[in-house]
Structure 1
Amino acid sequence: MLILIITVYKLLYFSDLNGVYLMSFIGSLVVILIATTLAGHLAARAGIPAVLGQLLIGIIIGPGVLNLIRSTELIEQFAEIGVILLMFMAGIESDIQQLKKYFKPALLVAVSGVLLPVIAMGSASLWFGYHFQEALFIGVVFSATSVSISVVVLREFKALNGKEGATVLGAAVADDILGVLLLSLMITLIGSSGVTGHGNSNNILAQLVFQGLFFAGVFLLVRWIAPAIMYLSNKLLIPTSNTISAMIICLSMAYLAELVGLSGAIGAFFAGIAVGQTPTKKIVDTNIEPISNTLFVPVFFVSIGLSVSFNNFLTSLPFITIMTILAILTKWLGGELGSILAGFDRNSGRVVGTGMIARGEMALITAQIGFNAHLLDKSLYVDIIFTIVIATLLAPLLLRWSLKRLHKAI
C-alpha cells in the first residue's frame, strides 16, 4: 500500500520556476483519497474502526513519518468542512426517541460518564502541571463517546436491541448533547481570554447573551423553522431540493454559531438534530453522507494525522499512559455505576460501561476545535490524539469481553 501511495505521490509532483518541487492541492487530494480508502479497508479487515485507519495513515504520510504531505490552508479549509458535515450527520443520527424510551438509565449513564472523565482526567492533568483551563478542557474532550464503534460489536452479539444496547445508544445521544454544551461553555469562557489570559467581563457577558439567543433560536429551529423549510423544499421542482435545503440549514447554523463565538461544528450539530426530526431525515442522511465521506471527512482525519509528531513521544509517554488508563476506567466505571443505579445487574452494567469507552471521531472533533480555538497547544494536542487512538483501539476488545461474560451469566 505504501509503495502505491509513494508512486502516486512522485507522479503528482511538479516543479516551479525555481526548480523547487511542490505538490498541488489536487495532487494532495488524490494521495489522501487513495491512502484513506486503502487504510480504511485494511482497518475494517482487521476488525478496527475505519476512521482509525484513516487517522493512522494521516500520521504515516504526514511529517511524523514519511513526510509526503504537509498541512496547507486549503487542506485545513476542507478539514473544517469535514468537521461541520460530521457533526451535522451526528445530529441527524441522534435518535431522540431512543433517548426518551430509556431516558432514566441513559441519562444516569451519560451524566456519570461525563462527570467522571471531567473530574478524574482534569485532576490528573493538573497533577502533570497544566493550567486549570487546559485541564478542564482535557476532561471535556474525554467526556465524548463514539457509539458507532460500539454499535458494530453490539450488532455482532445481537445485543443492539436489548436493554444494554438501547441504553448505550440513548446515553450516547445525551452524552453528545452534554458534551456539546460543555464545549460551548468552554469556548465562551476560555476562548475569549486565551488559556492563561483574562478577558473583558462585559464582552463575555455580551457573548453569553448572544449565545443564549442562539440556543433559543435552536429551539425555534427544531420546533418550527426546520420542519417548515423542509416542507417547502418538497414543493420545489428540483430533485435534490431536500438535500440543498438541509445543507443551507447546516451551513447557516454553523455560520451563526461562529458569529456568537461558538464553533461552527456546534451549530451544525444542532442543525442536524433539527433536520433529523423531520420526515426528510432518511433522504437527507442518504444524500449527504456520500458527499462528506468521499472527500471532506477523509481530509479531516488525515489533517489530524498531519499534525502529529513523534519528537517528544518518549517524554510524553507517562502522560499518555496514565491518561489512556483513565480514559478507559472513567467511562467504564461511569457507565457501570449509572446502569446499576438504574436497576441493572453487574454484568449488564459492565456491558454498558465498556460500550461507552470508545471516543473516536467525537473526541477527535472536540480536540480539533479546542486546538483551533487555542485552548490546547500543539504538543498537548498531539498527546491527546495518541490517547484517543489507543483508548479507542482497546474499546471493542473490552466490549467483546464484557458481552461474553454477560452471555455466560444468562
Structure 2
Amino acid sequence: MRQSNFISRRSSMFFFTILIILLATKLAGDICVRLGQPAVVGKLLIGVIIGPALLGWVENSHIIDELSQIGVLLLMFMAGLETDMDDLKRSFKSSLAVATGGIIMPLIGGYLLGLAIGLDIAQSLFLGLLLSATSVSISVQSLKDLNLLKSKESTTLLGAAIIDDILVVILLAFVMSFFGGSEVSLGLIIGKKIIFFLIVAIFIWKLGKWIMKWLAPLRVSEAVISAGLIVCFLLAFIAEQFGVAGIIGAFAAGLAISQTDYKKEVEHKIEPIAYAIFVPIFFVSVGFSVSFEGIGDQMGLLVITAIIAILTKLIGSGLGARLTGFSGRSALGIGSGMVSRGEVALIIATIGLQSGLLAQQYFTMLVIVIILTTIVTPYLLKMTIGRK
C-alpha cells in the first residue's frame, strides 16, 4: 500500500512538472514575441526562473533529462530534413574555415585566461577547449523562427558545427591522453570518427532509402513517421557509440531522409510531436543547470570569461566566413550562430570535473557562462542576419 502511494505521488509530481514546463514555455515564448524578441529566449530564461536557481517550482530529474535529450535530437533531425544536401557540399570550404576560426581563437583566449587566473597548463588547455565547443541546437531554432533555416548562412553554420564537434572531441582526447590519465589511443578516436562518417555516407546514399521503403508500407498507423524516427534514433545511437554527439547522428538522419520521397510527410508530421512536448522540455532543462550559490565572489571572473567566450567565437568564426566570401553582416551572423555552447560544453565541463582537468571551484561559474552564451545567441542572430 505504501509503495502504491509512493508511486502515485511520483506520478502526480511528474505530471505537475510537465504541466508547469509546457505552460511556462508557451507563455514565456509568447511574451518575448510580443516584445519583438526571439521566442526561444523566453523558453530558455523561463527554465532559469522556474528551476532550482530561482523559484524552484520544478527540478531536474532523470526522466526530464531523457525527455530533453529526445527534444534536442528531434530539433536537429528537423534541421537535417530542411537542409539541402547540395548546398551543404558547396559550403564545405566555408564551414571548415568557420569551424577552424571558431576553435583557434576561443582555444587561445581560454588558455591565456587560465594561465592568468593561476591554472596549470593542462587546466588552461582544457578551459580553452571548453570554450571552443559549439552547439547549434539553439541557433537552429532561432534561424527557424527567423525563417532562415534554408539560407546559405544556415547551411554553412550547420556544416561548421559538425566539423567543430569532431575537431574538439579529437583535441579533447589528445589533451586527456596526455594530462587526464586517459589511456584511450588518439588513433582509435580518429579512426572511430572516420568509420562513423562512412556509415553516415552509406545511410545518405542508400541505407536511409532502403529502411524507409521497407518500413513505410507497413499496415500500421503512422508507419512513415515511425520509420523516420527509427532512422533518427538509430543514427543518434551509432553516433554516441563512436564518440560523436548524438545530435550529429540525428542531423545526419534528417539529411538521409531528405533524399527520399518521404521527406515532406516526415517533416510535416514530426513538428507537432517535437514542439508539443519534447523541444519545450529541452529548452527549459538548459536553465536547470544554473545555480547562483557562491557565485558572488567570482562575478568579475564570470563577466570576463563570458566576454571572452562570446567575442572569440564571434570573431573567429566570423573571420572564417568573411575570408570565404560572405559579406560582413552574413559573416557576423554565422559567427553569432556559433556562439552558443549549449549541452555540448556542459558535457565537456562534466568530463573535466571527473578527470580533474576542471577545478570544482570554477564549475558553477563556467556553467553560467555556458548558459549565457546560449541565451545571447538568438539576440545576436536577430541583430545580424535577422535584419536582412
Relative to the length of structure 1, the TM-score reads 0.76
For structure 1, which segment, 209-218 or 288-297, has the greater mean C-alpha deviation from structure 2 after superposition? Answer: 209-218
Given that 1:83 and 1:365 are in contact with CA atoms closer than 8 Å, whether structure 2 keeps it comes out as no
Given that 2:45 and 2:375 are in contact with CA atoms closer than 8 Å, whether structure 1 keeps it comes out as no
Is residue 385 from structure 1 mapped to residue 353 from structure 2 by the alignment?
no
Q: Distance in 1 between matches of 2:289 and 2:282?
A: 11
For structure 1, which segment, 265-274 or 221-230, has the greater mean C-alpha deviation from structure 2 after superposition? Answer: 265-274
Is residue 174 from structure 1 mapped to residue 126 from structure 2 by the alignment?
no
Amino acid at match of 1:26: F
CA RMSD of aligned residues (A): 3.6
Q: Secondary structure at the match of 2:49?
A: helix
Deviations 1:212-257 (A, max 9, x none): 4333222211211112212334433345222111111111222233
Query: Which runs of 5 or more structure 1 residues have no equivalent in the other structure?
Result: 1-15, 404-410
The match for 2:253 among 271, 275, 286 is: 271
**Structure 1 residues 211 and 106, CA, compared in 2 at 3 Å: closer, same or farther?**
closer
Q: Distance in 2 between matches of 1:129 and 1:93?
A: 46
Given that 2:133 and 2:341 are in contact with CA atoms closer than 8 Å, whether structure 1 keeps it comes out as yes
The match for 1:280 among 262, 276, 284 is: 262
For structure 1, which segment, 319-328 or 50-59, has the greater mean C-alpha deviation from structure 2 after superposition? Answer: 319-328
Deviations 1:319-369 (A, max 9, x none): 33223333443344335533543456xxx3244224431458x63131343
Q: Secondary structure at the match of 1:357?
A: helix
**Structure 1 residues 367 and 340, CA, compared in 2 at 3 Å: closer, same or farther?**
closer
Aligned residue runs from structure 1 range 314-353, under 5 A: 314-343=296-325, 348-353=327-332
Given that 1:168 and 1:355 are in contact with CA atoms closer than 8 Å, whether structure 2 keeps it comes out as yes
Query: Which runs of 5 or more structure 2 residues have no equivalent in the other structure?
Result: none
Tell me how far 1:276 sits from its aligned partner. Answer: 2.8
**Structure 1 residues 119 and 98, CA, compared in 2 at 3 Å: closer, same or farther?**
farther
Amino acid at match of 2:277: L
Corresponding residue for 1:366?
344
> How many residues end up aligned between the 2 structures?
372
Q: Distance in 2 between matches of 1:206 and 1:396?
A: 37
Amino acid at match of 1:364: G
Corresponding residue for 1:309?
291
For structure 1, which segment, 65-74 or 102-111, has the greater mean C-alpha deviation from structure 2 after superposition? Answer: 102-111
Q: Secondary structure at the match of 1:279?
A: coil
Identity %: 33
Given that 1:226 and 1:274 are in contact with CA atoms closer than 8 Å, whether structure 2 keeps it comes out as yes
Given that 2:132 and 2:313 are in contact with CA atoms closer than 8 Å, whether structure 1 keeps it comes out as no
Is residue 244 from structure 1 mapped to residue 226 from structure 2 by the alignment?
yes
**Structure 1 residues 313 and 92, CA, compared in 2 at 3 Å: closer, same or farther?**
farther
Q: Distance in 2 between matches of 1:261 and 1:110?
A: 19
Q: Distance in 1 between matches of 2:345 and 2:204?
A: 27
Q: Secondary structure at the match of 1:63?
A: coil
Is residue 149 from structure 1 mapped to residue 138 from structure 2 by the alignment?
no
Corresponding residue for 1:139?
131
**Structure 1 residues 279 and 380, CA, compared in 2 at 3 Å: closer, same or farther?**
farther
For structure 1, which segment, 137-146 or 50-59, has the greater mean C-alpha deviation from structure 2 after superposition? Answer: 137-146
